[in-house]
Chains A and B, each alone.
Chain A
Amino acid sequence: MNGKAHSFESPLGIGALLSRLELTGKKIAVERNGEIVPKSAHAETMIRDGDQLEIVVAVGGG
């Protein structure tokens, strides 16, 4: 996740992961293994062992 390894003791969906990270409802976007996971699919998308996740936000930039 964002370039760092994380392990979880039980199967987890992206929606549950975001809730655990207190990111639910925040303006973020999620990519799994290079593919966008749309907001509408967060709840149903289960994370698999070895998945590469990116969670991004908008920041100041020019």
Chain B
Amino acid sequence: MRDALVVAGKSYSSRLLVGTGKYRDFAETRAAVEASGAQIVTVAIRRTNIGQNRNEPSLLDALPPSRFTYLPNTAGCYSAADAVRTLRLARELLDGHDLVKLEVLGDPQTLYPNMPETLAAAETLVNEGFKVMVYCSDDPIQAQMLEKIGCVAVMPLASLIGSGMGILNPWNLQLILEKVNVPVLVDAGVGTASDAAIAMELGCDGVLMNTAIAAARDPVLMATAMRKAVEAGREAYLAGRMPKKLYSATPSSPTEGKIAPKAA
């Protein structure tokens, strides 16, 4: 596979990972995921409705696990213990599937990661054989700590979850990219296609998003835009951009053979 994203030894042709929350229904979820081209989709683990809607359609029918790589998350967990418990349930639910997204939140207003709890949970999960992709702050030192623990990918926020504020600190993302050898994915904060392209142009290995697609007026069209943006940003990164110059002393057109006189 050409220019594949490799996470925990497995190759993916798509560098766009998408969430499955906040859609109108499973049909829209499915259509948006298809349009995004994503191969890895995040899911949450929640209590089943006892005795209600027994024949209600399930997410697993809309997005068959045979076609998509599920990435169960720990959304809503505020402690290492809750996150670990949630992912043990996820592994049981998904028949031993061990690729997971760890996120331990700090407070409900910002959903900013609680890094001490995140580090503690990562340690436990790695010891239990989980392959941990981890949502984290954009702190290069803590990203290195997560890599050292054995996380298979670090996923710093670009701005707050669900905010759509875009890439607020490209410099920190670049520091992480320089320091960390596992894949670095922007998780959270992307609002529109250019944000995803900027993340990829910086050299990020991928982008994970949910609200940017689900909360667009036309989610399926935005999913298509995001697929193109991630691909374009990746290609621009690989192509190597021209240097920025305040003035260009080299016109693109020939300077010989002009019919008008030279500039004074």
Contact = CB atoms under 8 A, between A and B. Distances in A.
Interface of A: 1-4, 21-23, 26-31, 34, 36, 38-39, 54-62
Contact of B58 (A3, A27, A34, A62): A27
Contacts of B211: 62
Interface of B: 19-23, 29, 42-48, 50-51, 54, 58-60, 70, 72-73, 75, 85, 88-90, 92-94, 161-162, 209-211, 214
A58 B93 contact: yes
Given A56-B48, A58-B60, A60-B22, A29 B43 contact: no
A60 B210 CA distance: 10
Contacts of A56: 45-48, 89, 93
Contacts of A39: 92
A37 to B, nearest CB: 8
Contacts of A1: 50
Contacts of A59: 21, 43-46, 59
Contacts, number: 99
B21 A22 contact: no
Given A22-B54, A55-B48, A56-B45, A38 B92 contact: yes
Contact of A60 (B20, B50, B54, B209): B20
A39 B95 CA distance: 9
A62 B51 contact: no
Contact of B47 (A2, A34, A60): A2
